[in-house]
């Protein structure tokens, strides 16, 4: 019988933290993940370093040791895998949750492989699956990506990087250092203020010395097979181009959240409604955990400050059990 007290959608750091708390509370639970373990982190740029220090990424009280104080992606993958093994978390990988519907007492959950019933559902689906599109001609050409992985591929190529925040800056510096000719297209007047403090001077200096070309207050307007069109303050220009790294950010899967019956805020943030004390949504018995909570505002929630959601949710669920 596929019944669990709690069904958790997503095996990111916060979904795993929820599994650990459910286990500690003595409740039955399952974590359903559409990709591999910590799928979003697995798909981050290969050489990425977190801006958080390792102890701020810890879950379940398990110490996270890293060589330097800011861990790398491979260290984080290893950490979360070891935590999963330590707690023997009940996981189903490569299984996507498609539907959640309410029953008289709990929920029916349909996945790409089977179906479950659950007393409560926790949505910890993050925001890394859907990139913010530029909606310009040529965006779907194979030379355009919203997911930068590794610099070697771009050696000796003309690379255009869109954006001025951490992901764009990392991609620009790494590809430049592997011999790409890099142009950045930046909407604002300067490199983003949120860029890691130890990286920002590097990009500012590379732009100042002309090693990396940057067009500020500019936007990419069209992409062709061998060129890119940019609207600059001095008028439109066309530059030769082999690859576009469109680091324009990501957004939660709002279609899925609506399908699960959740209410979203009316403003541009599309914040899924939840009680910040309990993390319960507009649908009683369905909880939100992790960075999905912020809607389009993907710069307020991180692992650092959303790992506490697991404790809040389990406190609410267990206190309701006692009240019954």
Ligand X SMILES: Cc1cc2nc3c(=O)[nH]c(=O)nc-3n(C[C@H](O)[C@H](O)[C@H](O)COP(=O)(O)OP(=O)(O)OC[C@H]3O[C@@H](n4cnc5c(N)ncnc54)[C@H](O)[C@@H]3O)c2cc1C
**Chain positions contacting ligand X, by CB under 6 A:** 9-15, 32-35, 39-41, 44, 48, 50-52, 96-97, 124-126, 128-129, 167, 256, 290-291, 302-304, 306
DSSP state letter for 76? H
Question: Considering beta carbons, is residue 31 or 144 the nearer one to ligand X?
Answer: 31
Least Cβ distance, residue 63 to ligand X (angstroms): 17
Least Cβ distance, residue 119 to ligand X (angstroms): 19
Q: ∠ CA 168-172-176 to the nearest 5 degrees? A: 170
Question: Considering beta carbons, is residue 199 or 239 the nearer one to ligand X?
Answer: 199
Q: ∠ CA 235-240-246 to the nearest 5 degrees? A: 80
Question: Considering beta carbons, is residue 230 or 303 the nearer one to ligand X?
Answer: 303
Question: Considering beta carbons, is residue 300 or 319 the nearer one to ligand X?
Answer: 300
Residues whose CB is less than 8 angstroms from the CB of residue 210 and which lie 6 or more positions away in sequence, other chains included = none
Question: Considering beta carbons, is residue 66 or 241 the nearer one to ligand X?
Answer: 66
H-helix or E-strand containing 209?
helix 200-209
Least Cβ distance, residue 246 to ligand X (angstroms): 14
Nearest to 207 by CA among 223, 195, 222: 195
Least Cβ distance, residue 52 to ligand X (angstroms): 4
Least Cβ distance, residue 165 to ligand X (angstroms): 10
Q: Which residues of 230-257 are buried (b: 16+ CB within 10 A; e: fewer)?
A: bbeeeeeeeeebbbbbbbbbbbbbbebb
């Amino acid at each position: 019988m596929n019944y669990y007290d709690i069904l958790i959608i997503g095996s990111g750091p916060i979904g795993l933290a929820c599994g650990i708390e459910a286990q500690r509370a003595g409740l039955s639970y399952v974590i359903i993940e559409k990709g591999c373990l910590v799928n979003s982190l697995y798909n981050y740029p290969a050489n990425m370093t977190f801006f958080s220090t390792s102890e701020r990424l810890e879950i379940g009280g398990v110490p996270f040791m890293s060589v330097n104080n800011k861990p790398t992606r491979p260290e984080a993958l290893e950490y979360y895998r070891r935590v999963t093994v330590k707690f023997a978390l009940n996981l189903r990988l490569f299984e996507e949750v498609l539907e959640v519907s309410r029953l008289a007492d709990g929920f029916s959950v349909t996945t790409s492989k089977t179906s479950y019933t659950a007393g409560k559902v926790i949505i910890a689906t993050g925001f890394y699956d859907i990139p913010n599109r530029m909606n310009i001609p040529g965006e779907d050409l194979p030379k355009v990506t919203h997911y930068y992985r590794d610099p070697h591929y771009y050696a000796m190529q003309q690379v255009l990087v869109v954006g001025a925040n951490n992901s764009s800056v990392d991609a620009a510096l790494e590809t430049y250092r592997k011999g790409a000719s890099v142009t950045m297209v930046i909407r604002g007047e300067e490199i983003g203020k949120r860029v890691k403090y130890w990286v920002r001077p590097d990009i500012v200096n590379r732009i100042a010395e002309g090693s990396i070309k940057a067009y500020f207050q500019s936007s990419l307007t069209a992409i062709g097979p061998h060129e890119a069109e940019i609207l600059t303050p001095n008028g439109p220009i066309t530059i030769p181009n082999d690859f576009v790294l469109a680091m324009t950010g990501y957004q939660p899967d709002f279609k899925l959240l609506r399908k699960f019956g959740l209410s979203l805020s009316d403003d541009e943030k599309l914040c899924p409604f939840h009680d910040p004390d309990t993390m319960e949504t507009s649908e009683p018995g369905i909880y939100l955990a992790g960075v999905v909570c912020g809607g389009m505002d993907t710069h307020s929630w991180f692992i650092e400050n959303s790992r506490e959601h697991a404790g809040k949710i389990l406190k609410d669920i267990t206190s309701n059990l006692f009240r019954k």
